[in-house]
Amino acid sequence: MVLGREQLSIEFVNQALSGNRRSLAKLLSSIENGELDSNSIGLDGHDDDGTIIGITGAPGVGKSSLIEKLISHWSTQGLKIAVIAVDPSSPLSGGALLGDRIRMDSADSNSNVFVRSFATRNQPGGLPKSVGLAANLMRKCGYDLVLIETVGAGQSEIRIVSFADRVVLIESPNSGDQIQAEKAGIMEIADLIVVNKSDLPNAERSAMQITSALQISGSPTCVLLASAKTGEGVEELASQLLSIPIKMGAEVARARERLLAAWASSLLSREDISKIINDISSGEVDAEKWVLNNLRWYDE
Amino acid sequence: MRIVIAKPGLDGHDRGAKVVARALRDGGHEVIYTGLRRTPEQIVRTVLDEDADMLGLSSLSGAHAFLFPRICELLKQEGCGDVTVFGGGIIPVDDRSELYRAGIRAIFGPGTKMQEMIDFVNEVKNRIDVGKPVGVGEGGDWFWS
């Protein structure tokens, strides 16, 4: 059920802050629907303290399975973990099948864990802007760590840096020859790279290729081997994740992605957005011309 | 609508649940699938955390007469009485009135057209808009037939 703005009282926020799961779940829906912003919940910004962690990587590399291993490891140490699992919305129907929970056994049985599925709702960059506020709210509601799992992402999808303090890139063995590791993009932004499925042959070789490629570029990034299947390497990954220094030099990329996310979100929340899209798809209006004619406020 | 599709109990057959999830997705809804062999408590927890509007239960193993009402009861206890619950799978006609009494609003058997499920979801939406009861704990005697 969607909460109307008028129904949202400070009491409601207070219930969520004091640990009420249903209140938190309702607030997250309102955030997702764009009915709430940080001012209306009374949340100040998140200080990049390393507690919001982005997990990204191509489809099928094992992001959800590795997250399950991480959250069960951390929760046995007494930490409370929240997860935002993002899956794509259909560009045609607007519907979505959100299936990341299936691989997270702790999601519906561990009281120290809160998993929430988000659909992209066709926001560019593969991550809705609401994810940032949602993660911030979860932190304030007593979750020590918030993991954001992106949609299966490609080489240049780096929107996650605008929401997460640290970004982990998951790779799998045999995901390309050395030249793939040399290419620019997400690999340069990641604070930590994990080659998952270390139980498979060639995992070590993949890790070595990535390590050597990143050494040349002068930004040595920690590359770890892990297996969500056997649990090997998970403990080290969990401790590294909390201790590696936050990578410097990503601030410009972070700021740029934040700007783009805010820009896209304000464009898509225009009341006449459906009409604009229809006009463009029918050929009546040219997309680039429309932008030039209608979004010239920055010149004024 | 946000809809959880769940497989309660030890039943290991989920082709039907996946087809329904897919059809609802194509109908423009956000569908969360729990995976196989969930307990009533786990299913209710998923509905709660995901803030779902509807819950679809699939059972082909004959355990529906126990599991479905148990899940309805837990939903009400957890303050999720506004969630609409529907069921599907192999549910003998003789068992259905008991399930409707527990708060389930629709039961879809083999041969159901996907469009009928979409129509049901739209009808629930319409009823919510005009304030008519659709939730598992909202009473009234309406069910999809």
Which structure tokens are listed for A138? 């979860």
| Structural contact between residues B15 and A85, judged by C-beta atoms closer than 8 angstroms | no
Residue A113 and residue A123 in one domain: yes
Residues of A in contact with B31 (CB under 8 A): 95-98
The number of angstroms, rounded, from the C-alpha of A59 to the middle of its chain's C-alpha atoms is 14
Name the nearest CA neighbour of B57 among B92, B110, B112, B108: B108
Distance CA B7, CA B30 (A): 17
Q: What are phi and psi of A28, to 5 degrees?
A: -65, -40
CATH number at residue A237: 3.40.50.300
Residue range(s) defining the domain that contains residue A67: 46-253
Confidence class for position A1, pLDDT limits 50, 70, 90: very low
Task: Name all domains of chain B by residue range, CATH numbers in brackets.
Answer: 2-129 (3.40.50.280)
> What does A117-164 look like in DSSP terms, one character per residue?
EEE-TT-GGGS-THHHHHHHHHHHTT-SEEEEEPSS--TT--GGGGT-
Residue A24 and residue A119 in one domain: no
Residue A40 and residue A63 in one domain: no
Residue A40 and residue A50 in one domain: no
Name the nearest CA neighbour of A123 among A151, A102, A146: A151
Name the nearest CA neighbour of B83 among A198, A17, A245, A22: A22
Residue A197 and residue A186 in one domain: yes
Give me the interface pTM, i.e. the ipTM.
Answer: 0.92
Residue A15 and residue A105 in one domain: no
The number of angstroms, rounded, from the C-alpha of A182 to the middle of its chain's C-alpha atoms is 24
The reply to whether A29 touches chain B by the CB within 8 Å rule is yes
Q: What is the mean predicted confidence (pLDDT) over B57-69?
A: 94
Number of independent structural domains in chain A: 3
Residue A151 and residue A28 in one domain: no
**Residue A177 confidence (pLDDT):** 62
Could you say which of B35, B41, B49 has the minimum Cβ distance to residue A116?
A: B49
Segment of A178-182, A214-218, A238-242 carrying the highest mean pLDDT: A238-242
> What does A108-125 look like in DSSP terms, one character per residue?
GT-TTEEEEEEE-TT-GG
Residue A86 and residue A205 in one domain: yes
Residue A203 and residue A232 in one domain: yes
Residues of B in contact with A28 (CB under 8 A): 51
Residue A87 and residue A132 in one domain: yes
Residue A103 and residue A40 in one domain: no
Distance CA A71, CA A107 (A): 9
Residues of B in contact with A109 (CB under 8 A): 41-42, 45
Name the nearest CA neighbour of A97 among A85, A106, A107: A85
Burial A113-137 (b: 16+ CB within 10 A, else e): bbbbbbbbbebbbbbbbbbbbbbbb
Q: Is the pLDDT of residue A276 over 80?
A: yes
Query: B interface toward A at CB cutoff 8 Å?
Result: 2, 21-22, 24-35, 38, 41-43, 45-46, 48-51, 53, 78-80, 82, 128
**Residue A156 confidence (pLDDT):** 67
Residue A161 and residue A289 in one domain: no
Could you say which of B26, B30, B33 has the minimum Cβ distance to residue A102?
A: B33
